[in-house]
Amino acid sequence: MLANNLANAGTSGFKGDQEFYSLYTSEAAEPDALGDKATLPVIDRPWTDFSQGLLQTTKNPLDLALSGKGFFVVNGPSGPLYTRNGSFQLSAAGVLTAADGLPVRAQGGGTITVDPAMPVQVASDGSVEQNGAVVAQLDLVTFSNPAVLSKQGSAYFLNTDATVKPQPALNVEVHQGSVEASNIKTPEAAVHLVSVMRQFEMLHKAINISVDMNKKAEDVARVGS
């Protein structure tokens, strides 16, 4: 999980993964002098940090970023997918797509088609304009409970609960010529990863020492017999 966070630190719109912990107490654990049994932290389940990343100016008119809670919608192979990665492009036919070619969704579920030979303006409310006329409206949505969203690759989310419907994103603003950076704090993530690796190495050495001690104990018992 930590390695994946670091690997996507430069991925636009990427949201980092964290984990929920609980405490485990073994039934065989011996109480200490105060009568308390030793407990160990156990990872219950991961969760996604949906906090916003910094907006980076690119001056590319097809790069769009969101400020506030909301998602762009693209038409995936099996239904809508949700993303904060607004690094969009135009197909040869003038269809606005994500970097991997999935069409960006307009309100109502259709695609957004513009004239590739003309400039494109996108207003803060998500309206797409050409030659002074509105040609489409970006489908911008939000979820009352983002926990229903499951990651699909590094850029997309899938709604895993059909009973939870996306709602129109009202308090969100579109910024043309910018992209949202990953919300990973690289130095903090790197330190966390190094700490976990050192803990692993320490436990690995402890296991090896225990195995060596058991072998020596067996040798001593064999000589004594």
Question: Could you read off the pLDDT of 143-154 as tens digits, one per residue?
Answer: 999 989 999 988
Is the per-residue pLDDT at 223 higher than 80?
no
Query: Given pLDDT bands bounded at 50, 70 and 90, which one contains residue 201?
Result: confident
Is residue 29 a part of any domain in this protein? Answer: no
Residue 117 confidence (pLDDT):
92
pLDDT score at 2: 84
Closest CA to 78 of 148, 137, 152, 16: 152
The answer to the question of residue 12 being in a domain is no
Task: Take residue 158 and report the two structure tokens written for it.
Answer: 């899938």
Task: Indicate whether 224 pLDDT > 60.
Answer: no
Residue 220: pLDDT above 80? no
| Any domain includes 27 | no
**The domain containing residue 61 runs over which residues?**
55-180
Rounded to the nearest integer, the mean pLDDT of the chain is: 87
CA 28 to chain centre: 38
- Residue 48 to residue 157: CA distance in whole angstroms: 11
For residue 105, give the nearest of 125, 83, 120 by alpha carbon. 83
User: Per-residue pLDDT averaged across 90-112, rounded?
Assistant: 95
Q: Which amino acid is at 144?
A: S
- Structural domain includes residue 47: no
Does a structural domain hold residue 31?
no
b (16+ CB within 10 A) / e for 178-213: bbbbbbbeeeebeeeeeeeeeeeeeeeeeeeeeeee
CA angle 105, 110, 115 (to 5 degrees): 85
How far is it, in rounded angstroms, from Cα 154 to Cα 140?
19
Sign of the torsion formed by the C-alpha atoms of 190, 12, 52 and 83: negative
Count up the domains in the chain and report the number.
1
82-91, 152-161, 214-223: which has the highest mean pLDDT? 82-91
Question: Is 166 a domain residue?
Answer: yes
Q: Does any domain span residue 73?
A: yes
pLDDT higher than threshold 60 for residue 225: no
Span 34-45, average pLDDT: 68
Confirm if 107 and 138 have CB atoms less than 8 A apart. Answer: yes
Query: Looking at residue 41, what is its pLDDT?
Result: 66
Q: Which of 50, 55, 52, 15 is closest to 179 using CA atoms?
A: 55
> How many alpha carbons fall within 13 Å on the CB side of residue 206?
6
Looking at per-residue pLDDT, the higher value among 15 and 40 belongs to: 15
Residue 155: other Cβ atoms inside 10 A: 23
Structure tokens at 146: 């983002």
Residue 175 lies in a domain: yes
